[in-house]
């Protein structure tokens, strides 16, 4: 389905800013086990409820001058930064989709959700169900217009089940948790979105990225190599790469290995 590019750019930039606003809530509340729904958006200082017109992504913070309308205390600049980042990533997803609406929706999910994946997993070693289980539901739903529902179900079973089994075996051998269940659900979501083969490429790319970044970092900082690794950000970063280039990578592998 081809739609004028400029329309997609504007639409998904706005959606990205809105998602960024929600991610601000998710990033703060999810690790603290707080409800994402109640209470509504409020000032962190005086707890005053933020009016809808003051809650418009980016613009609300600018109009208020970065201060609460009630108590006048400053509101962290990180909120509009996350919203602006969401807007830019939403715009990027539309540009990469090259006018294909379904492809744009998929890339939007894969790219914009990197914000909470990075922000939460790096700090807390947690992945929110909103993104992992949400990704499985999203992938299966959009599969009716992309890879087909059967391929989506196979992707969920193969990727989620395969990584769970691998993690279970490694945990038994190492006698400690080898991988968080959030990573398993995240990969299952990628399997639902792009099928087992491309999700498998995501896993390989994610593992290589993790090794390339964490090993030198831990050597330089003299951190324990056995300390837990936030794998979600690397797996998440690999997903849009695999979605866009995975088939070319598979063709190269088949050419050289078969």
> Does any domain span residue 145?
yes
111-124 mean pLDDT: 96
Question: For residue 258, what pLDDT band results from cuts at 50, 70 and 90?
Answer: low
Question: For residue 235, what pLDDT band results from cuts at 50, 70 and 90?
Answer: very high
pTM: 0.92
> Does any domain span residue 117?
no
Number of domains in the chain: 2
Same domain, 148 and 235: yes
Same domain, 131 and 220: yes
Same domain, 158 and 252: yes
> Does any domain span residue 76?
yes
> Does any domain span residue 121?
no
pLDDT of res. 173: 84
Domain that holds residue 212: 127-258
One-character DSSP codes across the chain: -B--HHHHHHHHHHHHHHHHHHHHHHHHHGGGT--SSSS-SB-TTT-PBPPGGG-STTHHHHHTTTB-TTT--B--THHHHHHHHHHHHHHHHHHHHTTBHHHHHHHHHHHHTHHHHHHHHHHHS---HHHHHHHHHHHHHHGGGTT-HHHHHHHIIIIIHHHHHHHHHHHHHHTS--S-HHHHHHHHHHHHHHHHHHHHHHHHHHHHHHHHHHHHHHHHHT--TTS----HHHHHHHHHHHHHHHHHHHHHHHHHH-
> Does any domain span residue 82?
yes
Domain end point (choices 44, 78, 112): 112
pLDDT of res. 2: 58
pLDDT of res. 73: 83
Same domain, 257 and 131: yes
pLDDT tens-place string over residues 191-227:
999 999 999 999 999 999 999 998 888 788 777 767 7
> Does any domain span residue 66?
yes
Domain end point (choices 80, 112, 144): 112
Same domain, 104 and 169: no
Same domain, 249 and 131: yes
Same domain, 243 and 141: yes
pLDDT tens-place string over residues 125-184:
999 999 999 999 999 999 999 999 999 999 999 999 999 998 888 888 877 776 788 999
Same domain, 102 and 170: no
Spatial contact of 139 and 193, defined as CB atoms under 8 Å apart: yes
Same domain, 90 and 5: yes
- Above 60 in pLDDT, residue 1? no
> Does any domain span residue 204?
yes
- Above 70 in pLDDT, residue 254? yes
Same domain, 9 and 103: yes
pLDDT tens-place string over residues 34-78:
888 887 787 777 877 887 888 889 998 898 888 887 888 888 899
Domain end point (choices 49, 81, 112): 112
> Does any domain span residue 189?
yes
Same domain, 97 and 207: no
Same domain, 135 and 205: yes
């Amino acid at each position: 389905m081809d739609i004028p590019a400029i329309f997609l750019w504007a639409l998904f930039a706005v959606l990205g800013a809105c998602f960024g606003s929600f991610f601000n809530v998710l990033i703060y509340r999810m690790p603290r086990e707080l409800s994402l729904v109640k209470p509504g958006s409020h000032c962190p200082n005086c707890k005053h409820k933020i009016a809808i017109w003051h809650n418009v992504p980016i613009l609300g913070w600018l109009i208020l001058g970065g201060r609460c309308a009630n108590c006048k205390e400053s509101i962290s600049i990180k909120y509009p930064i996350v919203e602006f980042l969401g807007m830019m990533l939403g715009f990027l997803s539309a540009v990469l989709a090259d006018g294909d609406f379904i492809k744009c929706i998929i890339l939007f999910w894969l790219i914009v959700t990197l914000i909470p994946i990075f922000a939460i997993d790096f700090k807390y070693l947690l992945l929110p169900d909103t993104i992992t289980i949400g990704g499985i539901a999203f992938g299966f739903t959009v599969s009716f217009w992309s890879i087909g529902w059967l391929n989506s179900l196979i992707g969920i079973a193969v990727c989620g089940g395969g990584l769970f089994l691998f993690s279970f075996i490694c945990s038994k051998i190492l006698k400690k948790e080898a991988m968080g269940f959030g990573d398993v659900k995240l990969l299952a979501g990628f399997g639902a979105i792009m099928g087992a083969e491309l999700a498998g490429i995501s896993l390989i790319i994610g593992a290589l990225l993790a090794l390339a970044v964490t090993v030198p970092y831990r050597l330089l900082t003299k951190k324990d190599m056995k300390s837990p690794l936030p794998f979600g950000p690397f797996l998440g970063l690999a997903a849009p790469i695999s979605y866009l280039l995975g088939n070319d990578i598979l063709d190269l592998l088949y050419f050289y290995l078969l």
